[in-house]
Amino acid sequence: MGRPCSFGQQVGLGLEIGLPLFKTAAGGHCQLNTDDKAGQLFMVLSWVLQALAWIFATLAVAGYVGLIRKL
């Protein structure tokens, strides 16, 4: 166990979890603690939100392509 993460590292970790293509330096120093219930819940919620984001992005692209084909 190390020292707690700073606010900036916590924000960077949140960005890395929320935006998988976006990498910050916080990932090497600050990690999500999945040993407790709060960490596990946060991880599951992040998976659900990422799945929803991919579904909505896919639907948006499909709708855009359908709109272009109608023109």
The torsion angle over the Cα atoms of residues 53, 57, 63 and 68, rounded to 10 degrees, is: 160
The torsion angle over the Cα atoms of residues 13, 17, 20 and 21, rounded to 10 degrees, is: -30
Residue 51 Cα distances to 18, 21, 47, 48, 58, angstroms: 11, 14, 6, 5, 11
Length of the chain: 71
Q: For residue 6, what pLDDT is reported?
A: 82
Which amino acid appears at position 1 of this protein?
Answer: M
- pLDDT tens by residue, 2-31: 567 888 877 777 777 777 666 666 556 777
Q: What is the pTM of this model?
A: 0.63
Which amino acid appears at position 38 of this protein?
Answer: A
